[in-house]
Chains A and B, each alone.
Chain A
């Protein structure tokens, strides 16, 4: 035993790094890491040298130059005199708009289809199977182009609404115009609006009316919560729960309605003006086609995830709930879904990320997302391919990581708490 206790005292020699099994693994890892870093450095150096040789040194100064082109859909003010950076920002917002709309549609439709697919009604279940297999087995690009073609070819042009006996009329009491250039819906207008508030030194403007409206809605929700807490306290103390639902509805809806009335709220209806409809909110064909295609395509995957999640909860749980006397929909809401969500959320995150990344196919229908502005026109007009693609990759990475972070946080809050 004495021989064993002496070995650690043996002084460290350099060759032990290679021959001593205790150190060899670490040595190899460090050498490999250094090799990899050298390789990466060589590649980057190589790229910079070649770019310099081409006369195109890496630089981002072009972002502050005038863009020179117009973008049809922009939430904040943009003209052809704005900078490339602003154009990229408009594109980023357009990407986010379609991603959020698409995720919402995919979730709602996917949840519905997924649950209906488990229906005991044979026809309903089969129809849902057809929906799922149809959407998920055709490339999403084809769906985008298909929806766009349908919108363009089948809907009437704005000129068809003109004249005494027009070929097409507006829907819903003359408030919505569905044309092959998009859908025009009424817009909210304020007769005595509060104007706009400049944000970040006038970089863009936010409607003060919207902020006031949101604040009043928030205040209403707060009051409603207080009423509920009071009802809870009374119930705990006396066993009787006071009737509060009418007070709660009033507290949620009254403040925003009063604010709307004070601001002079009215609807601006779209009407024919020159070549197109004027007034109202214009939802362009490109946005609608992209939204429907991305949302419905992804809904097929979401449906399968929901079905798998529900089926993963063992049948014994349902039977136990029934044995306790719970009705079927309460069983679903209180027993099955909370357990199914643990299985559903992680793959749902990837579907949201997929949808966001798939939105880069927008250029197929001329939707000006960030790939269309920064990675399309800006790249083409300035010839800064590498810089634009790097920025583009960083943007998508940032969006995806944010979505992933939020969803992981939600997943942590619903997952099984193990002790």
Chain B
């Protein structure tokens, strides 16, 4: 360890080492808080509110993990990361987990040595254009100027899509969502492309959201989820099963309102196992028995988080769509809790 700390100090930007530590869970417990990487600001997913408190759908996952470990959803510190800095931050050990609408791909999983612990949002890349352009399909975008966040999968999808359709475009690379918004609103680019959820969230913050349309084409699969470093499976399991617990809780009807009641014991064995009244699942995970209760109390189950931050009653107004439970025709299908 001494070796790698020394190296970390010397290789600027913490390039290589520092990460070798295998027991992230113990480290997190020892320092007393969870360090979580989020976006630099995407309303609904992760953005500071009026009081400077981070909130959003991705933030909710971080808070649930913190609650599962410490019983306290506020025992978490947030590191804003850009599309470019996020992986270095995670690989260098600066953050313990990354919940930053990050797409699960082969390269990131295998080559970049990360471990995706599940999918918390099934997304796809879309295009947003001003209504006055009169464009109704992405196929009509030949020659357009496109704002695109660098260091993302969307950048590669965009290149592939235009090449496959034999169209040309002018990419305008930008660093953060707010820069993209500035350029797009000033008409310095015709089109803004990113994940559809991101487009909806960005559009919600516009003065006149109705003046902009999201084109019908979805040009890619973007399964977004939290991720941790390769090699520490115990820590990966904690993050994975906190997310699964939130999904199972929705499936079984456990909400932040009734979780205390249900934690006294029910006649459903799976709920009992989840809430710690049957078996010792928390202990196996390296946490206490009430871990799932705390995680659910932090911000509610998956459905509650969704409705509160990005659901149809919020300005972002996303429908559940693919992100509905499998019982409702969606793709959310957590492995059984036993």
In the complex where A46-B7, A383-B111 touch, is A72 in contact with B170 (Cβ < 8 A)? yes
Whether, in the assembled complex, A69 has its beta carbon less than 8 Å from a beta carbon of chain B, the answer is yes
Whether, in the assembled complex, B30 has its beta carbon less than 8 Å from a beta carbon of chain A, the answer is no
Structural contact, A385 and B15, CB atoms closer than 8 A: yes
Structural contact, B87 and A383, CB atoms closer than 8 A: yes
Q: Do most interface residues of chain B lie in helix, strand or loop, or is the interface mixed?
A: mixed
Partner pick for B143 among A72, A275, A368, A376, CB 8 A cutoff: A275
In the complex where A43-B7, A50-B16, A276-B143 touch, is A157 in contact with B174 (Cβ < 8 A)? no
Whether, in the assembled complex, B163 has its beta carbon less than 8 Å from a beta carbon of chain A, the answer is yes
Whether, in the assembled complex, A80 has its beta carbon less than 8 Å from a beta carbon of chain B, the answer is yes
Q: Give min CB distance, B213 to chain A, whole Å.
A: 16
Structural contact, B151 and A55, CB atoms closer than 8 A: no
The contact string, 1 if C-beta is below 8 Å from chain B, for chain A 377-411, is: 10111110110010000000000000000000000
Which residues on the A side are within 8 Å of B51 (C-beta)?
none
Structural contact, B175 and A53, CB atoms closer than 8 A: no
Structural contact, B155 and A69, CB atoms closer than 8 A: yes
The contact string, 1 if C-beta is below 8 Å from chain A, for chain B 165-209, is: 000011111110000001100111110000000000000000000
Whether, in the assembled complex, B322 has its beta carbon less than 8 Å from a beta carbon of chain A, the answer is no
Structural contact, A377 and B19, CB atoms closer than 8 A: no
Whether, in the assembled complex, A159 has its beta carbon less than 8 Å from a beta carbon of chain B, the answer is yes
A389, B14: Cα distance in complex, Å? 12
Structural contact, B3 and A46, CB atoms closer than 8 A: yes
Whether, in the assembled complex, A22 has its beta carbon less than 8 Å from a beta carbon of chain B, the answer is no
Whether, in the assembled complex, B220 has its beta carbon less than 8 Å from a beta carbon of chain A, the answer is no
Partner pick for B10 among A43, A152, A278, CB 8 A cutoff: A43
Whether, in the assembled complex, B40 has its beta carbon less than 8 Å from a beta carbon of chain A, the answer is no
Structural contact, B88 and A385, CB atoms closer than 8 A: yes
A71, B158: Cα distance in complex, Å? 12
Structural contact, A376 and B15, CB atoms closer than 8 A: no
Whether, in the assembled complex, A216 has its beta carbon less than 8 Å from a beta carbon of chain B, the answer is no
Whether, in the assembled complex, A153 has its beta carbon less than 8 Å from a beta carbon of chain B, the answer is yes
Whether, in the assembled complex, B211 has its beta carbon less than 8 Å from a beta carbon of chain A, the answer is no
In the complex where A56-B113, A366-B172, A368-B173 touch, is A275 in contact with B10 (Cβ < 8 A)? no
Whether, in the assembled complex, B285 has its beta carbon less than 8 Å from a beta carbon of chain A, the answer is no
Closest to A157 in B: B187
Structural contact, A386 and B16, CB atoms closer than 8 A: yes
Structural contact, A70 and B171, CB atoms closer than 8 A: yes
Structural contact, A51 and B143, CB atoms closer than 8 A: no
Partner pick for A366 among B3, B88, B133, B173, CB 8 A cutoff: B173
Structural contact, B156 and A276, CB atoms closer than 8 A: no
Which residues on the B side are within 8 Å of A276 (C-beta)?
143-145, 170
The contact string, 1 if C-beta is below 8 Å from chain A, for chain B 127-168, is: 000000100000001111100001100011011101100000
In the complex where A47-B7, A152-B182, A372-B150 touch, is A381 in contact with B156 (Cβ < 8 A)? yes
Whether, in the assembled complex, B230 has its beta carbon less than 8 Å from a beta carbon of chain A, the answer is yes
Structural contact, B84 and A383, CB atoms closer than 8 A: no
Which residues on the B side are within 8 Å of A342 (C-beta)?
none
Whether, in the assembled complex, B41 has its beta carbon less than 8 Å from a beta carbon of chain A, the answer is no
Whether, in the assembled complex, A358 has its beta carbon less than 8 Å from a beta carbon of chain B, the answer is no
Which residues on the B side are within 8 Å of A47 (C-beta)?
7, 11, 16-17
Q: Give min CB distance, B252 to chain A, whole Å.
A: 39
A319, B7: Cα distance in complex, Å? 62
Which residues on the A side are within 8 Å of B17 (C-beta)?
47, 50, 54
Which of B4, B6, B145, B187 has the most C-beta atoms of chain A within 10 angstroms of its own C-beta?
A: B187
Structural contact, A285 and B188, CB atoms closer than 8 A: yes
Structural contact, A363 and B186, CB atoms closer than 8 A: no
Whether, in the assembled complex, B20 has its beta carbon less than 8 Å from a beta carbon of chain A, the answer is yes
Structural contact, B150 and A377, CB atoms closer than 8 A: yes
Which residues on the A side are within 8 Å of B142 (C-beta)?
274
Whether, in the assembled complex, A419 has its beta carbon less than 8 Å from a beta carbon of chain B, the answer is no
Whether, in the assembled complex, A180 has its beta carbon less than 8 Å from a beta carbon of chain B, the answer is yes
A43, B84: Cα distance in complex, Å? 27
A46, B160: Cα distance in complex, Å? 40
In the complex, which residues 237-294 of chain B have their Cβ closer than 8 Å to any Cβ of chain A? none
Which residues on the A side are within 8 Å of B156 (C-beta)?
68-69, 80, 381
Structural contact, A80 and B159, CB atoms closer than 8 A: yes
The contact string, 1 if C-beta is below 8 Å from chain B, for chain A 39-78, is: 0000100110111011110000000000011111000000
Which residues on the A side are within 8 Å of B141 (C-beta)?
275
Whether, in the assembled complex, B112 has its beta carbon less than 8 Å from a beta carbon of chain A, the answer is yes
Closest to B183 in A: A152
Whether, in the assembled complex, A181 has its beta carbon less than 8 Å from a beta carbon of chain B, the answer is yes
Which residues on the A side are within 8 Å of B44 (C-beta)?
none
The contact string, 1 if C-beta is below 8 Å from chain B, for chain A 277-305, is: 01000000110000000000000000000
Which of A54, A56, A81, A278 has the most C-beta atoms of chain B within 10 angstroms of its own C-beta?
A: A54
A81, B164: Cα distance in complex, Å? 12
Structural contact, A372 and B173, CB atoms closer than 8 A: yes
Partner pick for B187 among A149, A180, A363, A380, CB 8 A cutoff: A180
In the complex, which residues 2-57 of chain A have their Cβ closer than 8 Å to any Cβ of chain B? 43, 46-47, 49-51, 53-56
Q: Give min CB distance, B175 to chain A, whole Å.
A: 7
Whether, in the assembled complex, A273 has its beta carbon less than 8 Å from a beta carbon of chain B, the answer is yes
The contact string, 1 if C-beta is below 8 Å from chain B, for chain A 354-373, is: 00000000011010100010
In the complex where A43-B7, A43-B10 touch, is A278 in contact with B188 (Cβ < 8 A)? no
Which of A53, A70, A379 has the most C-beta atoms of chain B within 10 angstroms of its own C-beta?
A: A70
Whether, in the assembled complex, B83 has its beta carbon less than 8 Å from a beta carbon of chain A, the answer is yes
Besides A69-B171, A152-B183, A180-B187, 19 other A-B contacts (C-beta < 8 A): A46-B7, A47-B7, A47-B11, A49-B3, A56-B113, A68-B156, A69-B155, A153-B186, A159-B133, A275-B133, A275-B190, A285-B188, A364-B175, A366-B172, A366-B174, A382-B111, A383-B87, A385-B16, A386-B15
**A–B pairs, 23, beta carbons within 8 Å:** A46-B4, A46-B6, A47-B17, A49-B3, A50-B3, A50-B7, A50-B16, A54-B16, A149-B182, A157-B188, A159-B187, A181-B145, A181-B170, A274-B143, A275-B133, A275-B141, A276-B143, A276-B145, A372-B150, A376-B150, A377-B151, A383-B112, A386-B16
Enumerate the 7 nearest inter-chain pairs by beta-carbon distance, A residue then B residue, closest first: A157-B187, A380-B151, A80-B159, A383-B112, A274-B143, A50-B17, A366-B173
* Chain A interface residues toward B at CB < 8 A: 43, 46-47, 49-51, 53-56, 68-72, 79-81, 149, 152-153, 157, 159, 180-181, 273-276, 278, 285-286, 363-364, 366, 368, 372, 376-377, 379-383, 385-386, 389
